[in-house]
């Protein structure tokens, strides 16, 4: 059962999210708060699994609130302002819901949360493969199994708190470890750090659209501090 916290200064927005969450049998008690300070007091003394967080609120806004949490729950931003989407990735949020939030779109966010929790339960860890198999592959330890992961199958990697999610052509794998550690493990001849929270397989990048990459149909943000390097590297590699 997931313990959920909803923080939004609009009563109607809180009611909508509470109503959506009540339709799932795996959600426990929902704790709604009208401002960040009340929610902060609650989280100082209680554990939460999922946080649905508005951004534009009087007093402490959602971004400052999230930054103040030493160990934030899995977080979904809920806001009427599209411009905050990429800042959300900087803070490791798992999804970004634009108001008014439709139920089908809310279901997608719940599925992301459940996928992440299920993969995290596998307690996967990376282990270096034998020297002769690198740089073509690396071994993933999941439970008692050691599975060979080919670098050519990896599309991109997303950092999320203390974990990294490896997206491949056929699956997703959650690894305990930072995105920085993944950048050191995966060969830089094939993979590029494009954002504080993302590493992309260069060969799978199809185009750049302003501040994002299109890679196998997915949109990956380009961080401000990485944009010049990314554009230069892609241009040089494709000469």
Residues 79 and 142 in one domain: no
Q: Which residue has the higher pLDDT, 228 or 5?
A: 5
Residue 81 corresponds to which tokens in the numbers above? 């302002």
Residues 152 and 93 in one domain: no
- Residue 144: the pLDDT is 74
- The pLDDT of residue 52 is above 90: yes
Residues 117 and 144 in one domain: no
- Residue 117: the pLDDT is 86
The last residue of a domain, from among 121, 145, 174: 121
- Residue 20: the pLDDT is 97
- Residue 36: the pLDDT is 95
- pLDDT range class, residue 93, cuts 50, 70, 90: confident
- Residue 195: the pLDDT is 92
Residues 132 and 92 in one domain: no
Residues 103 and 179 in one domain: no
- Residue 86: the pLDDT is 64
- Average the pLDDT over 28-34 and give the result: 93
Residue 116 corresponds to which tokens in the numbers above? 């992440």
- pLDDT range class, residue 60, cuts 50, 70, 90: very high
Residues 165 and 180 in one domain: yes
Residues 140 and 84 in one domain: no
Q: Which residue has the higher pLDDT, 1 or 4?
A: 4
Q: What pTM did the predictor assign?
A: 0.73
């Amino acid at each position: 059962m997931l313990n959920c916290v909803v923080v939004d200064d609009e009563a109607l927005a809180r009611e909508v999210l509470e109503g959506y969450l009540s339709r799932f049998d795996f959600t426990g008690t929902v704790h709604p708060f009208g401002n960040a300070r009340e929610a902060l007091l609650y989280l100082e003394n209680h554990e939460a699994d999922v946080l649905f967080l508005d951004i534009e609120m009087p007093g402490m806004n959602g971004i400052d609130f999230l930054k103040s949490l030493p160990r934030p729950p899995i977080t979904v931003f809920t806001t009427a302002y599209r411009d905050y989407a990429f800042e959300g990735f900087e803070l490791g949020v798992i999804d970004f819901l634009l108001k008014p939030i439709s139920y089908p779109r809310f279901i997608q966010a719940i599925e992301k949360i459940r996928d992440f929790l299920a993969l995290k339960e596998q307690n996967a860890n990376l282990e270096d493969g034998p020297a002769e198999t690198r740089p073509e592959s690396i071994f993933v330890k999941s439970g008692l199994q050691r599975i060979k992961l080919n670098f050519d199958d990896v599309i991109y990697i997303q950092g999320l708190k203390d974990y990294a999610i490896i997206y491949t052509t056929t699956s997703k794998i959650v690894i305990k470890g930072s995105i920085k550690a993944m950048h050191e493990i995966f060969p830089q001849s094939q993979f590029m750090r494009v954002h504080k929270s993302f590493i992309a397989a260069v060969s799978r990048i199809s185009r750049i659209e302003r501040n994002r990459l299109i890679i196998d149909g997915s949109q990956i943000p380009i961080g401000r501090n990485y944009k010049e390097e990314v554009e230069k590297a892609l241009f040089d590699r494709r000469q």
